[in-house]
Each structure stands twice: as structure tokens, then as C-alpha cells.
Structure 1
Amino acid sequence: MLLMPESCWQWQYNESHGVLGITLGSELEFLTPYKPKTLIPDALGQLEFSVEHARYYIDLLDSLSKRLSLPDAFLVQLALNATAACFLQKPQMPKSWFFESSDVCVYSEPGKLFNLKCHGERLLVLVVETNLQASTVMMLDHEYMLSDVKSLQKFETIKVMHDRLFALRAQQQIVAA
């Protein structure tokens, strides 16, 4: 069963875990992996889960449930993390140099899945936010070392130019991220 937004939902920085959370009722809290250095100042207190956040979350759940064969709990986790990243993370500059260029032009929109290529390996990412030249994407694979000093963790976001996004192969079926 997919979790639908309610009026009691509220973003709240969780001091004890040092990450952004969302209270989903009196006894349920979901913790994102996002730490203070990546968050906008408003995210470090209490903030309502707005109508705009709810619309984005529901649209993303709908899109993901059509594209992925995953348990509902994981789809909710993806959608909540993406919503937090879209609305409560600081803007990023593109870091495309970590990834190989694609020779195919792609259409990017929130909820679409792509691969990034790094050192010949494909990394599965979800588009969280997009503009004319670049997209902020969320890592769906487990940790990957981009360089000797930089890694990308599961659910971490990175902004890349569109020419770094590779369309998923048609025969590729996604069963788990």
C-alpha cells in the first residue's frame, strides 16, 4: 500500500540522527539521508509538507510505480527522498566531469530513470529536478567511487549536464534498485 500525504505531515530536522526527517503522524517518522550541509536553512527547523510537496510526491509515486517493479515501501522511500531533495536541498553546480558523455540527446523530467557512465560502469539514477541544461539526479545504486576522494552514496544527489544522461536500454528490466 502506497503512503498518501496527510495534513499532519511535517518536515523536521532530527537532531539525534543529524538528518532531515518527516513526521508522518504521531508515532511515525521517516529519516532522509540528507545532512545539514546539503540543506537549505529552512529545513533545519520545522516546515510544513506543503500542497506543492504533496503534488510532487504523488506524481513521482505514480510515475515510479509504472516504471519500476518494486515493493510499495521502497517506492515511498524513493519518492520521499526525492521530494526532500527537490525542495529542501541547496542548489548544486553541475559536476559532469565525473561521467562519460552520451552522443544521444535525451528528454529529462522528474521521475525519469537514466544511467550515468563512470569508468565504464552504468549507475542507475532518478531525475529529481531539471532545467534547460542540467538535471539533479538521485543515485539508486549502492555506493560508487567516482574518484579516489569522491564517492556517491545511495540516495545522494548530483547535478549533471543532460549530455551525461544515458537512456535505459529497452531490454533492461528494473527489478530492484
Structure 2
Amino acid sequence: MTVHEIAQWHWVYDPDQQQLQIELEQGMFHPAPYKSSRLVPLHAMRAAFSTDDAEQFQSFYDAIESSGIVAAQTILEASLNYLIFSRYGRPQMPQSWYFQTAEHAPSSLEVGQLVSLNSGMAESICAITSTDGEFVECMVLGGDFPLSDIKTLRQFDVIKVMPNRLQALHESHENSTDSHLKQA
């Protein structure tokens, strides 16, 4: 995909269905996995992607792809959802208390970088979607990620945490058998 091809995509919001979608090609849509309550208020629209949208998508896609441990379909969906949440997601409050403090936190943090979060119940590989120095937003790339007995993050959910909760990836993740992370 080129930035020019991506720039031909459209944002589409249907207020009757309360569904934000990206029109990839004529008749082919990617629906946002987020409830409308997680997004800023939207009105009916069909708007062309900007060059900035296309460049952000490509940059995030390339960053995850360079890891070599994420399946192609997951990279595509994660990149589309990254764009949706970064452009239309509501600001979040940090929820660091769900995660264990990292023994070996990554030394530098960049959008698209893969990290691990550990809830004490499970561990999941996530991609950094934004960082401001004080907090980091991460997108779950694997399957369901239980945080407590009553809260579970789904694939592509985004959560805001303090940087000291991020764990550097270990070799065990690079050999993961999780179908979402295995290179196709």
C-alpha cells in the first residue's frame, strides 16, 4: 500500500447505527471496534482521508511490521484501529493500577513500539499508540486480556498507563504461539 492509495480511503459515520467505519475501497469497510461512548461525538459524515491520516497509518503499520512477530492481518486491523482511536477516541484517565510495575521498562518509548503489560492474571503484547512522557496509551494486540475478575480488555482496546507499567518484550514473546502475533 502506498500513502497515495491510503489517501483514497474515507471516514464514514452512520448516526442511526452509531457506527464509525473506514471505507477502504468501494463497498469494503472496516468498522470501528469501539463503542460510540469511547469516541468523541460524531455527526453523519463521509470525509476523505487526509495526507496526515495516510502517513500516520503507514508509520504505525511499518513500526509493528518491523517487529516480525505480528500476523499481517493483525497489523492491518491494529493500524486502522490506531487511526480511528487517535483521531476520534475520547481522552482517557490512566488505569495503571491494573498492571504490575515493570522490572525492566523500555528505555525509550515510540508510537508503534511493542511492549508487554502484566495484569497479574495475564500478560499481553501491546503497541504504543501515544506517549506524552507522563502517560502512555497502549493497544492490546493479542486476544482477550483479563485485568481483574470483572474487567477484560478485548483485542484492539486502548488503555492509558504510567510508563513504569510497560515491560520490555522478552524472547519468549518473540516465539509466541498466539495466533494474533504469529507471522503469517
Instruction: Specify the TM-score bucket, using the shorter chain as the normaliser.
Output: 0.7 to 0.9
Aligned-pair identity in percent equals: 26
**SS at 2:150 equivalent:** coil
- 1:151 correspondence with 2:152: yes
Root-mean-square deviation over aligned CA pairs: 2.3
1:96 aligns to what?
96
**Which AA in structure 2 matches 1:83?**
L
**Which AA in structure 2 matches 1:147?**
S
Deviation (angstroms), 1:104: 3.1
Which segment drifts farther, 125-134 or 23-32?
23-32
Runs of 4+ off more than 6 Å: none
Which segment drifts farther, 11-20 or 132-141?
11-20
* Contact kept in structure 2, 1:138 and 1:156, CA below 8 Å: yes
| Structure 2 spans left out of the alignment, 5+ residues | none
Against the structure 1 CA distance between its residues 105 and 62, is the aligned structure 2 distance closer, same or farther, given a 3 Å change threshold? same
Deviation (angstroms), 1:144: 2.4
Q: Deviations over 1:128-176 (max 9, x none)?
A: 1111111111111211221232211111110000000000014531564
* Contact kept in structure 1, 2:119 and 2:146, CA below 8 Å: no
1:142 aligns to what?
143
- 1:128 correspondence with 2:129: yes
2:26 aligns to what?
26
1:63 aligns to what?
63
Deviation (angstroms), 1:69: 4.0
* Contact kept in structure 1, 2:7 and 2:54, CA below 8 Å: no
**Which AA in structure 1 matches 2:112?**
G
* Contact kept in structure 2, 1:3 and 1:76, CA below 8 Å: no
1:161 aligns to what?
162
* Contact kept in structure 1, 2:125 and 2:140, CA below 8 Å: yes
